[in-house]
Structure 1
């Protein structure tokens, strides 16, 4: 069997809000954005935080004056995952078509939520005024869809107001993107923000267990898992109601599933380069004990997964 390879490039790795500056130079301060490329030259963009601006500049240079179709899948529509959209350079080029895939927002249709960030009160150029044609597609957890050569499976995550992770597969090579999510043990996040920890009901526990089973099944046999590890364990203990996870939880979840690599992602804004170095060393060692390669995402990191294997 021949397995195609994927190229994963990290353009934004931070959570919550951008923090460029002298203490984040090496790991980066832009928010969530990952570029996934296939052997046949296709590109899938995952999340549209402030990292999308740099990616968009590169893509616009490649596009030139040719028509081009971009596909962007969103984990959810919180600010740090969509803030780069108004600054996506190809949107200002004639012949551009942009398809956006995301959960339906709790209060409004997806296109109205995305369009709202370019209202004249917030941004000088309205979404309807740019040359690009936008299309909006609402995803449903558990229902896969095709984007060019990528098969994409959305999976429900445990985050305030809802979020989805994605398993992306092309010719037998699998990547998973899991951001944003809390662990599936302490509390179930719902369609409102919880001011503090909340004891789950029996119904909540059943929903959490099902969510975890579905995610584990999606991750089984995955080459690389990009995981929300915003908090260290002691930080999570203070803020379990924020909807984010830890490197320890990522390791526990992936253990025994045949996952080759975990990429720690969605770093807390307050985690400096020095702190990230310590996190990288600590969890690389913990991963080795379980036979999993653990690396820390940083802006500019590029990984190739899959490739030719024996027949």
Structure 2
């Protein structure tokens, strides 16, 4: 089968397309014939091997799993002996292990039936980013109707879902992004927008009950200035958190939180079928939609990753693995 692989950590140049064997299916796994794969910052971290702490789990000197990609959407090709939720031929989406390939495996409890109104490309860009946004708002942020919520990086993968989900939870939402992406964030339902190149969200003119920060670069002091006296900031993103752990801000925030009236916390997203099913309901109700900017064929995975690295993406990017017949 065709797959995008790498045998070392590095930038997009380490990615290459090769023919490899199909993966073996364990008892609790599903073999998915991949139609499309999503591109996200998690895949970028896995490619670069940064922060370095993650290599304890992914391979110290080189990736244990050479195939790139996490998000997937496709059809069930085979099921393990213990699998009961899916049948061959069903359309699914979720979290895989090496989704930049014609076939990949996924645990049964990390998949759900594909939302019927979405294309494979649209479904493939939901799992990692939308689940992270959902758990950041609902679980870590404890969002409530009527709260004033600020979303940094509102035009990005996690941010574009966070804006919509916060609105679905009944919040008054402000999205922070660049000038060229203000229209996108407004179209996602944001009540207010802030252009970070012109305005400061922490200028004291407005305070927020909840901040979901996945832009990765505002200092803790800046976030605290924008919070209400008892507000919560959920700090995410590992690009600016240091090369060793990637969680420098998160760790400092959680160390400080017990000594102040504000709550500083983080989200470590869990891959759960139940959250995929909830997102399917919200998509079906028209409250959430994937913001898919562009698709790339499998043999252009390098170009897709460079587009993501450059910060050019408006929402999400997808890799088309198998085109409709």
Same fold, judged at TM 0.5 (above)? no
TM-score by length of 1: 0.33
TM-score by length of 2: 0.32
More helix by share: 2
